[in-house]
């Protein structure tokens, strides 16, 4: 009951709908929990797994939290529940960036077994869009051969990256951004300052999870710094080389580039000059391409210098 009561309103709405459909037998074995990141998709899927596997559900179908099944899930050792994500690479030095075929083969073998606790088996794959091609083919075979009492739930913030064959074999459970007042109330309940909430929600385009993450950490302050840097470059007070050095000096370079692109989008939304709007749109695309380069072997500082020089040149041409 505690986990259910801890849901945000948008989570609770989705959870109630899916729980009712599960109880009524209206859902197939394959579900795709999709929608923007940081809206609590995995938490809802995990709660529903506890609900399905609980041996002594409380009133309203809530998992009791006390039975052997609930205790095993809490301990991470339930034989009928699998929570699949990234695993260490071969030498154990870091996590893989893909979900690989070995994981899907192991899952398929597990799903073919009789549930040890006689109720069901549930597997959650998150992020499902990180499944590589070979793993996707193995997963597709499992989806195409449903077995009663087996639930295969995929969680993704970017479902378009999944093969269409997999998406088409899953019923979609969609998470959407909540109304602004609901997001604001939720953030207030977490103790954030009203003025900061307004700024963070505007910056996050109404996304409460993203706003909360920025308010809890340094994300909002980082955005203010990026805005100041762009203004300084436009006014000729700052050097592209020096700003690029600062932006790439730590692990926040990708977030800085995201903030920069978002700031430009917000500026463009208030413009009436078509030429200026096109110029900002071109720089927005360049900023996103530069952000993608941060995942490659390209020197980050040189890529960001080029981007910031293009920004300064565009501002001088206004």
At 103-140, the pLDDT tens digits run 999 999 999 999 999 889 999 999 999 999 999 999 99
At 137-146, the pLDDT tens digits run 999 999 998 8
pLDDT of amino acid 318: 58
pLDDT of amino acid 268: 86
Burial class (CB in 10 A: 0-12, 13-18, 19+), 60: exposed
Give me the domains of the chain, ranges plus CATH numbers. 9-174 (3.40.50.300), 217-316 (1.20.120)
pLDDT of amino acid 5: 60
What string of H, E and C letters represents the secondary structure of the chain? CHHHHCCCHHHHHHHHHHHHHHHCCCCCCEEEEECCCCCCHHHHHHHHHHHHHCCCCCHHHCCCCCCHHHHHHHHCCCCCEEEECCCECCCCCCECCCECHHHHHHHHHHHCCCCCCCCCEEEEECCHHHECHHHHHHHHHHHHCCCCCEEEEEEECCHHHCCHHHHCCCEEEECCCCCHHHHHHHHHHCCCCHHHHHHHHHHCCCCHHHHHHHHHCCHHHHHHHHHHHHHHHHHCCCCHHHHHHHHCCCCCHHHHHHHHHHHHHHHHCCCCCHHHHHHHHHHHHHHHHHHHHCCCCCCHHHHHHHHHHHHHHHHHCC
Residue 104 in contact with residue 142, Cβ under 8 Å? yes
pLDDT of amino acid 3: 43
Rounded CA-CA distance 174/14 in Å is 8
pLDDT of amino acid 118: 84
pLDDT of amino acid 271: 78
pLDDT of amino acid 2: 38
pLDDT of amino acid 92: 87
Query: Which residue in the block uniquely carries the two structure tokens 């269409």?
Result: 164
Residues of the chain where predicted confidence (pLDDT) is lower than 70: 1-5, 317-318
């Amino acid at each position: 009951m505690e986990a259910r009561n801890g849901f945000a309103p948008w989570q609770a709405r989705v959870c109630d709908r899916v729980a009712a459909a599960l109880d009524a037998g209206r859902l197939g074995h394959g579900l795709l929990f999709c929608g923007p990141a940081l809206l609590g998709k995995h938490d809802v899927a995990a709660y529903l797994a506890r609900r399905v596997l609980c041996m002594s559900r409380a009133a309203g179908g809530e998992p009791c939290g006390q039975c052997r099944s609930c205790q095993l899930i809490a301990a991470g050792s339930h034989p009928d529940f699998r929570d699949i994500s990234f695993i260490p690479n071969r030498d154990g030095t870091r996590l893989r960036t893909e979900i690989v075929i070995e994981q899907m083969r192991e899952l398929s073998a597990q799903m073919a077994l009789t549930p040890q606790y006689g109720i069901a088996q549930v597997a959650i794959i998150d992020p499902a869009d990180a499944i590589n091609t070979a793993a996707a083919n193995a997963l597709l075979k499992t989806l195409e051969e449903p077995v009663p009492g087996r639930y295969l739930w995929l969680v993704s913030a970017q479902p378009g990256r999944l093969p269409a064959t997999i998406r088409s074999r899953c019923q979609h459970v969609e998470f959407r951004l909540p109304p602004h007042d609901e997001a604001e109330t939720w953030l207030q309940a977490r103790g954030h300052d009203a003025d900061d909430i307004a700024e963070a929600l505007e910056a996050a385009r109404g996304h409460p999870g993203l706003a909360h993450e920025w308010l809890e950490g340094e994300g909002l302050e980082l955005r203010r710094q990026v805005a100041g840097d762009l203004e300084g470059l436009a006014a000729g007070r700052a050097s592209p080389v020096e700003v690029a050095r600062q932006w790439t000096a730590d692990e926040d370079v990708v977030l800085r580039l995201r903030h920069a692109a978002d700031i430009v989008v917000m500026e463009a939304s208030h413009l009436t000059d078509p030429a200026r709007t096109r110029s900002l749109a071109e720089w927005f695309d360049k900023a996103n391409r530069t952000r993608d380069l941060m995942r490659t072997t390209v020197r980050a500082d040189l890529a960001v210098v080029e981007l910031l020089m293009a920004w300064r040149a565009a501002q001088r041409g206004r």
